[in-house]
Amino acid sequence: MSGLLYQFPAKTRLDRVVAKQKILAHIKGSAKLRERLRDEVDQITWHAKLASSTLNLPSTKEVPELQVFVVTLKGEALHDDVLSAIDRAIPFPTVFELKGPSGVCVKAAYKRPSQADANHWVTDEHYLSSGWHEEGAERCPLPPAIHLKALYHQCLSELIPTPKRDGERLEEQLARFNAATALGKQAEKLEKRLRNTKQFNRKVELNAELRGIREQIAEYIAR
C-alpha cells in the first residue's frame, strides 16, 4: 500500500466543518455532480492548515499553504469528479483524507499555479490514492522538509506507486507513473484481443506486442 497517514501537529489543526452549500456554490457542473456531492458526502472538515505561521516552514510561490481536508462519506466510495469539485473550491494545494466504512484513504491530485495566470490553479485530472487504512491506524510524523513545496511534494510522492528514483523530481516521477498506467491500459486491451483471437499467426504477433509493452512498463516502474 502506498501513502502514509500523517499526524498533523496541534498548531496546524483547525477541524472546522465546511457547509456543503459553500462547495455547491462553487460548482458549475451538472445537476448529476451536485446530486453526487449531496448523496456521497456526509461532511467536509477543514482539518489542518500547513503554513509558515502554523508549521514554521517557509512558504513558496508554488505552495504558499497546504490544506488538509477530511471528507466523511455516506457510503463506500466517492467519485473523483466530486472530489475534484471540492478541490477546485480550495485555492491552495490540498491533501484529502476520505473516511468511510472501509477506513481512511488519502487522496490528492498535483495542484500548481498556472503558468499563464498565477492566480489560477491547475489540478491534475487523476487522483493519487493510498488505498484504505484501518480507522485508528498508526500515524507518522510529517517528513522533514526545507519549505512547504518540499513537504507537499514528499506527501504526493508517497502516494505514487512507482518508487521515486534518486535525484528525481516529483514531475518526473509522476510522468513515469502516468506512462506506465497508460501502457497498462494498452496491455489490458491487447490481452482481451489475444483471448478472442483464434488465428495462430495473429496470436504470435499480439504476444510479441504485449511482451514489448510489458518490458516498457517494467522500465518505467523500476527504481
Model confidence pLDDT, tens digit, residues 177-218: 999 999 999 999 999 999 999 999 999 999 999 999 999 999
pTM: 0.90
With cell 522500465, the residue in question is: 219
Name the residue type at position 81: D
pLDDT at 210: 96
Q: Please tell me the distance from the alpha carbon of residue 217 to that of residue 223, in angstroms, as a whole number.
A: 12
Residues 62, 87: contact at Cβ < 8 Å?
no
pLDDT at 116: 86
Residues 110, 152: contact at Cβ < 8 Å?
no
pLDDT at 3: 67
Q: Please tell me the distance from the alpha carbon of residue 50 to that of residue 143, in angstroms, as a whole number.
A: 13
* Separation of CA 34 from chain center: 21
pLDDT (tens digit, 9 = 90+) per residue, 65-115? 999 999 999 999 899 999 999 999 999 999 999 999 999 999 999 999 988
Residues 82, 40: contact at Cβ < 8 Å?
yes
